[in-house]
Amino acid sequence: MRTVRWIAYGLVVVVVAAVALVWVQRGGLSGFNAARIGVSVPGGVSVGGPFTLVNGQGKTVTDADFRGRFMLVYFGYTFCPDVCPTDLQLMTNAMELLGKDAARVAPIFITVDPARDTPQVIGEYTKLFSDKLVGLTGTPEQIAAAARAYRVYYAKASSAQSTTYLMDHSSFIYLMGPDGKLSALFSQGTTAKDLADGIRAKLAGTS
Ligand code: NI
């Protein structure tokens, strides 16, 4: 049994090394240099893209509606017990720190749980943080397409009871430029000040 286990470990090491090698050859960290405190995206990987979703008032919203402004995008779900509220509060605090520059940025919360996050649910939820926070939902297909474009992973974590399940989801904060392209990527654990500074640096580059 021990031999089998070591062979399995060896295989994992080989696979990880191969993936790392391919990634480095394709540009690695040098391909995309996000904001100072941001996260780097491997070169050649496109993040973001068109979406057609529904806002808290039941109105259809597309990415084109935000063109000319930055979008601060976060994917999550309103039933999330901890991570999403923390990150949405972080975004809200960063927006406040931006002062009048905040007018150039649209904070957006896109649900990965359209089954429970109806337009009304997401509209009421985002108001708990800020009137400026745009909550978006849609059909499962619309959400899947948006998540795919943003390289968001999400899945139901538990299906013991149909209405009380949790969702696993990746939790990056995306800063999209006025052209709709990725400007910077922020990970969990960023402070509101660092997030605001990172956004301001990008705003300065495009004013
Ligand atoms: Ni969450």
- Ligand 1 center to residue 16 CA distance, Å? 28
- Ligand 1 center to residue 124 CA distance, Å? 17
CATH superfamily entry for domain 2-204: Glutaredoxin (3.40.30.10)
Question: CB of 35 within 8 A of CB of 41?
Answer: no
> What is the spatial distance between Cα 119 and Cα 167, in angstroms, rounded to a whole number?
18
- Ligand 1 center to residue 81 CA distance, Å? 7
- Ligand 1 center to residue 126 CA distance, Å? 14
Residue 103 has, within 13 A of its CA and on its CB side, a CA count of 3
Which pLDDT belongs to residue 54?
Answer: 98
Which pLDDT belongs to residue 144?
Answer: 97
Closest by Cα among 175, 155, 174 to 166: 155
Which pLDDT belongs to residue 44?
Answer: 72
195: left (phi over 0), alpha (psi -120 to 50) or beta: alpha
Asked whether the CA dihedral 180, 182, 186, 187 is positive or negative, the reply is positive
Q: Where are the domains of the chain?
A: 2-204
Q: Is 22 helix (H, G, I), strand (E, B) or coil?
A: helix
Which pLDDT belongs to residue 28?
Answer: 36
Structure-block tokens of residue 38: 């941001």
Q: Is 74 helix (H, G, I), strand (E, B) or coil?
A: strand
- Ligand 1 center to residue 26 CA distance, Å? 31
Return the residue matching tokens 């295989």: 11
Query: pLDDT digit string (tens) for 110-132?
Result: 999 999 999 999 999 999 999 99
Which pLDDT belongs to residue 16?
Answer: 46
List of the chain residues with pLDDT < 50:
1, 11, 13-37
Which pLDDT belongs to residue 29?
Answer: 37
Closest by Cα among 97, 87, 76, 103 to 186: 87
- Ligand 1 center to residue 73 CA distance, Å? 14
Query: pLDDT digit string (tens) for 15-38?
Result: 444 444 444 333 333 333 334 345
- Residue 185 pairs in a beta bridge with 174
Q: Residue 193 contacts by C-beta under 8 Å, 6 or more apart in sequence? A: 94, 97
- Ligand 1 center to residue 79 CA distance, Å? 8
